[in-house]
Each structure stands twice: as structure tokens, then as C-alpha cells.
Amino acid sequence: MTRTSIVCLLSTLVLGCKQTVTKPDPQTEKDLEVCKKTLDEKNKLVQALQDENARLMRGGSAPGEIVVVIEGGNFTVRPGQPGEVRPVDDKVAAQASKEFIDVVQRSKGSIQKCYEQALKKNTGLQQHAVTLTVSASFTNQGAYQNSSFSATQPLGDQFDSCMKTVASKWQLPANSPAMTFKTQVSLTPS
């Protein structure tokens, strides 16, 4: 044994064995936390969509309620219950749909602010455009009743709360029939 080997052996015996302690990278921990939150939001969104699908499969619209689905400027009117005769003229539905789209477009700035707040909470959203499906119900006096929102990327509870506040201010003309409207809004980081 060489003299250096003996010194190393003695210093190891005297000082004791050192154990290497590894610490996770702080950025990896942050990324993991964001991933967990995104997964939770995705699971909530999946559950909300499953609940909405089950409600629709049961014929979940209220008696006499008219559902208008607006896609790319075209609309589809669906009576509230299976076998029910369409209780509204297509011209009336088209006019109400146009008014709803106008209400949503006037709120685009507020919707974008809700989205920007969600981006601050989840920077991973900045890499994707998000399509938001907006569903809102109104009484036959044009008063807002309720709304729901689903997005292609989970935006979080704060976004949903912000959107509920925006939608609660929506109003259609007083002569509008009771309807539920569904349309899509594209959101992109500014």
C-alpha cells in the first residue's frame, strides 16, 4: 500500500463515510407542480363534460327550452324535448343567435382578460391557442340565467369564475324566446 492510500484510508476511518445527498432541481419541482395542477383541471373538465353529456342524453333541457348551436356562422335549432315541435320560427332563432353572438363579441375584451389571468397562472398555456365553448341560457325576457364554459386546454377555476362574472352581465332583447346558445370563441395569447 502506498503512503497516499494509507492517508486516504485513515482519513476515511477518522472522518467517517460521506453520503451524497441529491436535491431535486427547483425548475423540475415547479414543472411537476404545474403538471399536477393541469391534470387536476383536466380531470375537472372531463367530469364537467361527462356531466353535461349525461344531462343532454337524458334530454336535460327544460320543457319548452330551445337550444341553438352556433358553429362558424351557421346555427342549428333543437327543441328542448324529444318529439317536441319546434316552438320558434327559424327567423326568430337566427335573429336571437345574431344578438347572442353580438353580446359575446362585445365581451371579447373581458373574455381575453380572463384568459390572460389564466396564462399568468399556467405559462404552459402560452404555447397553444385555446378554443372556448360558451353555453349560455336566457329567459323569454332576455335575462341571463346561467352559463358553462369548456376549453380545449384546462384554464382553471379562476378562469371559470371570471367568465361567470362576464356572462352574468349578458342580456338579450326583452322579446327574445327562452333559449340556450352554444358557440365557440378562439383565445390566443396577446
What are 90-145's pLDDT values in tens digits? 677 778 788 888 888 899 899 889 888 888 887 777 777 788 888 888 888 888 88
25: alpha, beta or left? (left if phi > 0; alpha if psi -120 to 50): beta
Residue 144 lies in a domain: yes
- 33 located within any domain: yes
Write out pLDDT tens, residues 171-188. Answer: 888 877 777 888 888 888
Supply the pTM of this predicted model.
0.56
Residue 161 in grid coordinates: 369564475
**Residue 5 falls within a domain, yes or no?**
no
Question: Left, alpha or beta for 118 (phi > 0: left; psi -120 to 50: alpha)?
Answer: alpha
Phi (first) and psi of residue 184, to 5 degrees: -120, 145
Residue 42 resides in a domain: yes
Number of domains in the chain: 1
Count of other CB atoms within 10 angstroms of residue 104: 21
Residue 95 within a domain: yes
pLDDT at 169: 92
- Strand 144-151 vs strand 130-138: parallel, antiparallel, or unpaired? antiparallel
Contacts of 44 (CB under 8 A, 6+ apart): 154, 157
pLDDT at 78 over 70: no
- Is residue 16 in a domain? no
C-beta of residue 64 within 8 angstroms of C-beta of residue 177? no
Domain limits at 120? Answer: 25-187
Q: How many CB atoms lie within 10 A of CB 124?
A: 13
What is the pLDDT confidence band of residue 4, given thresholds at 50, 70 and 90?
Answer: low
| Residue 14: inside a domain | no
In a domain, 12, yes or no: no
